[in-house]
Amino acid sequence: MTTTHSRTAGPAGSSEPTAPAAPAARKTTYREAMREAMREAMRADERVFLMGEDVGRYGGCFGVSLGLLEEFGPERVRDAPLSESAFVGTGIGAALAGLRPIVEIMTVNFSLLALDQILNNAATLLHMSGGQLPVPLVIRMTTGAGRQLAAQHSHSLENWYAHIPGLRVLAPATLTDARCVLAPALADPDPVLIFEHGSLYNVSGDLPADPGPVDLDHAAVRRPGTDVSLITYGGSLPKALAAADDLAADGIGAEVVDLRTLRPLDDATVGGSVARTHRAVVVDEGWRTGSLAAEISARLTEQHFYDLDAPVERVCSAEVPMPYARRLEQAALPQADAITAAARRTLGEVGEEPG
């Protein structure tokens, strides 16, 4: 089966998903929200420490940990040598011995150097030891494209990790999630991977004064709608919301579901949305083949075949290593107009007025 999706270059979605501003809300950025979460965790629990490349003196390669070294000192904000496998494995060992490490890896592409430790140790030790060795480790890393960083800094490989039993995989897409997923991740007795889309760090908006807690077991409906479900996560959420705006202008109500947790997937929320709208577009910055979008599409077919009024559409990245040139890079990525077009196809297939 061949499916052709047009993916014309266009501006990245600029719509900023935020919770409705509460009276005491204050302006912040995704980066600052994540930093605040780490600061809070380290103040609350002396077992928590941060380890990774350039997390200390440099302040984190994307500036997330700026200032933490000054507050917590070099023992707890630990600059590691450029040895992904060693410092991720060291995090695993420290977790086994009772600490609560947060390990930062610069990008998901670099995490492949630590894939052995993440898969063969972190995800596996509990089972392989017959339940003796839970690994309460949090690994944070940047993912995704859009910043012209080319093919070794831009890929979206979180679905590789979402394939692995034993891991919990998170993709906070909003300021509130950036601020609130770390605490429950640290409280999880098992390894948790947090994927931070690079395009989100500078996103600013209002953070409610009391934003938490965030439920890691459930996806979030970011915008209600009745005609089509746009199912997405991470850096694609702003694009899906922008597409929903475009569709609304034509009277089409798109419901936007933010997966938030990529493993385990929340079938109930995704399926519940599709049971209401009967149409689904899955937006995923990973490559289409073997993608998370493929998994969700398969689950919808298994669980909601008779709810669907049209084939599930997928908007994914073009199957090419991420190119540098802006025009090419934008053409390779899911864009709002491609999402809008896919949503229209799901409506056109049944030839009915939305409603």
Partner 1 sequence: MSATRTPRTGRPTSRPGRAAAHRLALLESMLRVRRFEERCVELYSAARIRGFMHLYIGEEAVAAGVNEALTDEDAVVSTYREHGHALARGVPAEAIMAEMFGKVTGCSRGRGGSMHLFDVSRRFYGGNAIVGGGLPLAAGLALADRMTDRDRVTCCFFGDGAFAEGEFHETANLAALWGLPLLLVCENNLYAMGTALARHQAQTDLALRAAGYGMVAWAVDGMDVLAVEEAARRAAEGVRAGGGPHFLEMRTYRFRAHSMYDSDRYRDKTEIEQWKERDPVEGLARRLREAGELSDEARTALEDRLAAEIDAAVRAADQAPEEPIEDLLKYVTSPVKASRP
Interaction pattern, residues 100-129, with partner 1; x per rule: CB under 8 A: -x--------------xx--xx---xxxxx
Cβ atoms of 101 and 56 within 8 Å: the answer is no
Near partner 1 by CB under 8 A: residue from 99, 105, 169, 178: 99
User: Which residues lie closer than 8 Å to 57 by C-beta, 6 or more apart?
Assistant: 69, 79
With both helix axes pointing from N to C terminus, report the angle between 336-350 and 237-249 in degrees, rounded to the nearest 10: 50
Closer CB to partner 1, residue 1 or residue 97?
97
Q: Which residues contact 249 (CB under 8 A, 6 or more apart)?
A: none
Query: Which residue among 93, 253, 272, 311 contacts partner 1 (CB under 8 A)?
Result: 93
Residues composing the chain: 355
Report, in Å, the least distance between residue 311 CB and partner 1: 32
Report the alpha-carbon distance of residue 289 to residue 190 in Å, rounded: 29
| DSSP letters spanning 52-63 | ETTSSSS--TTS
Is there binding between residue 89 and partner 1 (CB under 8 A)? yes
**Helix, strand and coil percent figures for the chain, each rounded to 5:** 40, 20, 40
Return the residues of window 157-196 that contact partner 1 according to CB under 8 A.
Answer: 165-166, 168, 184-185, 187-190
Smallest separation, CB 207 to partner 1 (Å): 17
Report which DSSP code applies to 92: H
- Beta strands (DSSP E) in the chain are 26-29, 48-52, 77-79, 100-107, 138-143, 168-170, 192-197, 204-207, 220-223, 228-232, 254-258, 261-263, 280-287, 313-317
Please choose, out of 5-13, 32-40, 97-105, 276-284, the segment that lies near partner 1 by the rule CB under 8 A. Answer: 97-105
The single residue among 50, 80, 171, 193 that binds partner 1, judged by CB under 8 A, is 80
26 vs 127 by CB, closer to partner 1? 127
> Which residue in the list 32, 53, 153, 196 is annotated as catalytic?
153
Determine if 287 is a binding residue for partner 1 (CB under 8 A): no
309 in contact with partner 1 (CB under 8 A): no
What's the closest the beta carbon of residue 131 comes to partner 1, in angstroms? 4
For residues 339 and 281, is the Cβ–Cβ distance under 8 A?
Answer: yes
Is 88 a residue that touches partner 1 (CB under 8 A)? yes
Residue 213 or residue 321: which is nearer to partner 1 going by CB?
213
- Candidate list 30, 62, 72, 87; residue touching partner 1; CB under 8 A: 87
The yes or no reply on residue 75 touching partner 1 (CB under 8 A) is yes
Choose between 52 and 354: whose C-beta lies nearer to partner 1.
52
Beta strand segments in 126-214, E: 138-143, 168-170, 192-197, 204-207
Q: Least separation, in Å, of the C-beta of 155 and partner 1?
A: 21
CA 141 to CA 163: how far, in whole Å?
17
Q: How many other C-beta atoms are found inside a 10 Å radius of the C-beta of residue 348?
A: 11
Cβ at position 111, least distance to partner 1 in Å: 14
Residue 324 token pair: 């540098």
Which tokens is 39 given? 């600061």
Binding pattern to partner 1, positions 189-228, x when CB under 8 A? xx---------------------xxxxxx-----------
| Nearest distance from C-beta of residue 47 to partner 1, angstroms | 8
Residue type, 69: L
Subset of residues 39 to 58 that bind partner 1, contact rule: CB under 8 A: 49
Minimum distance of partner 1 from residue 213's CB (angstroms): 3
Dihedral of CA atoms 324, 326, 329, 331 in degrees, nearest 10, equals: -150
Residue 84 annotated to the active site: yes
Residues of this chain that bind partner 1 (CB under 8 A): 49, 75, 80-81, 83, 85-99, 101, 116-117, 120-121, 125-134, 165-166, 168, 184-185, 187-190, 212-217
Catalytic residues: 84, 153
